[in-house]
Amino acid sequence: MRSFFGALFACGALSQPVTAGCATDDQVEQFVADYLSGTPSTALSADGTMEDALCTQAHIVKALEPHLGPVIGYKAGLTSAPAQERFGASEPVQGVLFRDMMLNDGASVPSDWGARPVFEADLVLVVGSADINQAETPEDVVHNISAIRPFIELPDLTLAKGEPITPVTLTAIGVAPRLGVLGTEIPVTDPASMAQALADMAVTLRAADGDILAQAPGTAVLGHPANAALWLMSKGIEFKPGDLISVGSFGPLFPPEKGMGGASVTYEGLPGDPTVSVVFE
C-alpha cells in the first residue's frame, strides 16, 4: 500500500514543473526556515486550487521530515462545525502527523510553541489492519482500529497576521502540525461497543484551573469520529497498520493563554473515562 504522498513521489508528480499555484522551491525553503524558527510566515498557494495546496504540502512534508521525523499518520482538520465556521470551510482538510511532534500525557511545553500557537480537543485512531482501506461505514473503520488514544493537538497556525488562513492555505502547510500530546492507548476489544461509545461519548476540554472551555459529543466530528478516516480515504489516503489518524477538533481552537497554564481533555463514555493533559510553561 502506498500513502497519498508516497504515491505522489512514486509517480513522479513532484519531479514535474510545478503549477502556478504550487509553491516554488524558494518559497518552500523560506517557509521551512520560518517554521523551524517560530517566525510568522507567508501564506502559500493563496490564489491556487486545493490541488495546488496538496502539491505545496507534499514539498513541505519532504522538507520537514529531516527535522520532524517521518510521517506516522494523517490528520483531518476542520471536522467540527465551529472549526469550519472559523475558517470558512465547507468540508474538512487533510494534513500529516510527524513522529517527533508527539509527546506523552502530562508533557510540559513552552506557551509559545509556535508562531501562532493554538490547542484543541482531538482524538487519535490507531490503524490495526490495512483492511480499513475497504471500510464503508464508521463501524467498518472501528473493526480495523487496534486502539483509541486521547489526544490534545497543539497546532501552529504559522501564518503572519494579515495573511489569509483558508482551507487552501491551511492545506498547503499541512494543516498546521507542530505538537500533540497522546494519552494512553485504549485497546479496541469489542469493535461494535467501541463504535457506539465513540458516538455517544462526551468530550470536555478544560483549562488548568478546571474551567470548562468546550464540551461536545462524539458526533460533533462529522457525525462520528471514524468518519474522519472515511473522509481521508475518499481523498486518496491509504492507511497501513500502525498509522495514526487524528480525527480533528471537537470544538473551537484556543490560544494558550486560555488554558491558564495548561489543558486537559476527558472522554466520558469511553472505557475508563480517560483524560489526557498538557502543561503550558
| CATH classification at residue 162 | 3.90.850.10
Residue 13 pLDDT grade (very low, low, confident, very high; cuts 50, 70, 90): very low
Which pLDDT score is estimated for 15? 41
In a domain, 143, yes or no: yes
Cα separation, 211 vs 206, in Å, equals: 5
Whether this model's pTM surpasses 0.85: yes
**Mean pLDDT value across residues 169-178:** 95
- Lowest average pLDDT, out of 12-26, 149-163, 178-192, goes to 12-26
C-alpha cell read off for 270: 469511553
**Mean pLDDT value across residues 209-232:** 97
**Mean pLDDT value across residues 46-62:** 96
Cα separation, 257 vs 85, in Å, equals: 22
Number of domains in the chain: 1
- pLDDT tens sequence across 31-44: 999 999 999 999 99
In a domain, 53, yes or no: no
**Mean pLDDT value across residues 122-132:** 98
**Mean pLDDT value across residues 227-248:** 97
Rounded to 10 deg, the angle between the 25-37 and 50-68 helix axes is 50
- pLDDT tens sequence across 69-97: 999 999 999 988 877 888 888 899 999 99
Q: Which domain holds residue 207?
A: 70-280
In a domain, 192, yes or no: yes
Which pLDDT score is estimated for 86? 81
Cα separation, 234 vs 273, in Å, equals: 31
Which pLDDT score is estimated for 87? 83
Cα separation, 281 vs 265, in Å, equals: 18
- Phi (first) and psi of residue 11, to 5 degrees: -85, 0
In a domain, 76, yes or no: yes
**Mean pLDDT value across residues 176-181:** 96
In a domain, 58, yes or no: no
In a domain, 50, yes or no: no
**Mean pLDDT value across residues 52-78:** 96
- pLDDT tens sequence across 141-160: 999 999 999 999 999 999 99
Which pLDDT score is estimated for 184? 97
Residue 5 pLDDT grade (very low, low, confident, very high; cuts 50, 70, 90): low
Examine the pLDDT at 3 and tell me if it is beyond 80: no
In a domain, 78, yes or no: yes
In a domain, 64, yes or no: no
